[in-house]
Amino acid sequence: SSTGVASIIDATAEIGMSSRDPKDKEVAKAKTKGVDMKTITVAKDGIAIIVNESSPLDSISLEEIELIFSGDVTDWSGISTQTGTISAYTRNTSSGTYAVFQKLGMSSRDYGADTQKMAGNEQIAAEVANNPNGIGYVGLAYINTPGVKVLPVEGAAPDSPEYPLARPLYYLLDGNKELSSAANDFIGFTFSPEGQAIISGVHFLPVY
């Protein structure tokens, strides 16, 4: 996400991609360079909560998510019949998902000191699959990783409209520049039935 934002600020791309809103300081930096940062919502992605397939949990609440990832609860016995020290896996601080999850799932609280930062979805899914005490969050494209189980949040599955941990996925543009015909065609394709079908096929949620 940070790379996508930077590509518009630095004019290295016509279209950037991001899973978070541009930060105020990024918008301000863009303005100093004559860039009018615009966002277009092209899809939505549910941030799925995964545990090891051996976990007795079948669902989880937002309150329990906050307790675990903030470090208030460090043993599974605090929220389930399972016992053992919780291993909570998160994205690293440069990830847009890291900040979005903090906002949607943790009431914007700080992550617990014992949370383990991973480079990407694949690494989180692999760690949770190999650790009976593991819990983490991944994009919907990774929910079928062998060895993990997806937990509904507040009773809603990650691909349902009511899911509370869903975030928009954006294209970023410079509103002060006219797009090339190729860039316009690309955006048009994204919103075509074929483009939205591709979005669904990779486990993102189409915008219509």
pLDDT value, residue 19: 86
pLDDT attached to residue 51: 99
Same domain, 51 and 147: yes
What is the sign of the dihedral through the CA atoms of 145, 119, 45 and 135?
positive
Domain finish residue from 151, 177, 194: 151
74 domain residue, yes or no: yes
Q: Is residue 38 part of a domain?
A: yes
Q: How many residues does the chain have?
A: 208
Tokens of 208: 């219509």
In tens, the pLDDT along 56-72 reads: 999 999 999 999 999 99
CA-to-CA dists, residue 134 to 90, 128, 140, 149, 160, angstroms: 11, 5, 18, 11, 24
- Which amino acid is present at 52? N
Q: Is residue 109 located within the same domain as residue 79?
A: yes
pLDDT band per the 50, 70, 90 thresholds, residue 160? confident
Amino acid at 62: L
pLDDT above 80 (res 161)? no
Q: Is residue 208's pLDDT more than 80?
A: no
pLDDT digits (tens, 9 = 90+) for 131-140: 999 999 999 8
User: Which CATH number do you get for residue 137?
Assistant: 3.40.190.10
Beta carbons within 8 Å of 10's beta carbon, 6+ residues apart: 33
Sequence-ordered list of residues with C-beta below 8 angstroms from that of 49, at least 6 positions apart, any chain: 60, 65, 135, 136, 137, 150, 151, 153, 165
